[in-house]
Amino acid sequence: MQYPDPIAKLIDSYMKLPGIGSKTATRLAFFTIDMNKEDVETFASSLTAAKNDLHYCSICGNITDEDPCAICKDPSRDHKTILVVEQPKDVMSIDRSGDYHGLYHVLHGVLSPIDGRGPEDLNISSLLQRLKDDAAVDEVIVATNATPEGEATAQYLARLIKPAGIKVTRLAHGLAVGSDIEYADQMTLLKAVEGRTEL
């Protein structure tokens, strides 16, 4: 038996989301059908508004509904440091911690020759222009993921930025709080040893 066309289309739409297979998409489709009409309309308008009203900040590349974004135009932030991340969601994760008060720059990916993604495909040229235009910046913190692509991107950025006399640092990687050394992989242990701090 085939689903009616509206349900089949809704299932197909949910399956386009990352990590959603046919079973989960079917469950979500039927859940949506069972929602009251006002909630469905609010959900649909939220999707449309997110797509139509959001864009990237012209300074840092973060996702925003205003330009420049709230972080870039906040005078209370430390304008001497720029923390470079892969994706806009990384900005929210780090900013939520409340420990970092500087500026951000979003690359929108990492270098990946296998996927055909080179420096020209990332938001690197605007970072270099920012550093050239703003003499106040004295440190760039590279916070790409601890993957081979993230590491390669961090090294590439360091080679571009260091000649300008700007300090380039990398977020420490290693053992998570509460984890057992016995279960850590070799790369995690290596990064933990390299990033050790004095007590």
User: Domains in the chain and their CATH numbers?
Assistant: 5-53 (1.10.8.420), 76-174 (3.40.1360.10)
Backbone phi and psi for residue 179, each to the nearest 5 degrees, phi listed first? -90, 160
pLDDT for 181: 67
- Cα 41 from Cα 37, distance rounded (Å): 6
For all residues of the chain together, what is the average pLDDT?
A: 91
Instruction: Report H helices in 55-164.
Output: 88-97, 125-133, 148-161
Is pLDDT larger for residue 147 or for residue 1?
147
Q: How far is CA 66 from the centre of its chain?
A: 18
Specify the length of the chain in residues. Answer: 199
**Residue 106: Cβ within 10 Å count:** 25
The secondary element (H helix, E strand) that includes residue 105 is: strand 102-106
Mean of pLDDT values over 183-198: 73
Q: Which pLDDT score is estimated for 99?
A: 86
Please name the residue ranges forming H helices in 54-147: 88-97, 125-133
Q: And the tokens for 181?
A: 């050394």
Which residue bears the tokens 């571009």? 160
Residues 28-32: what's their mean pLDDT?
A: 97
pLDDT of residue 132: 92
CB–CB of 166/128 below 8 Å?
no
Q: pLDDT tens for residues 60-103? A: 999 999 999 999 999 999 999 999 999 999 999 999 988 899 99
Tokens describing residue 59: 């300074």
Could you give the CA distance from residue 149 to residue 146 in angstroms, rounded to a whole number?
8
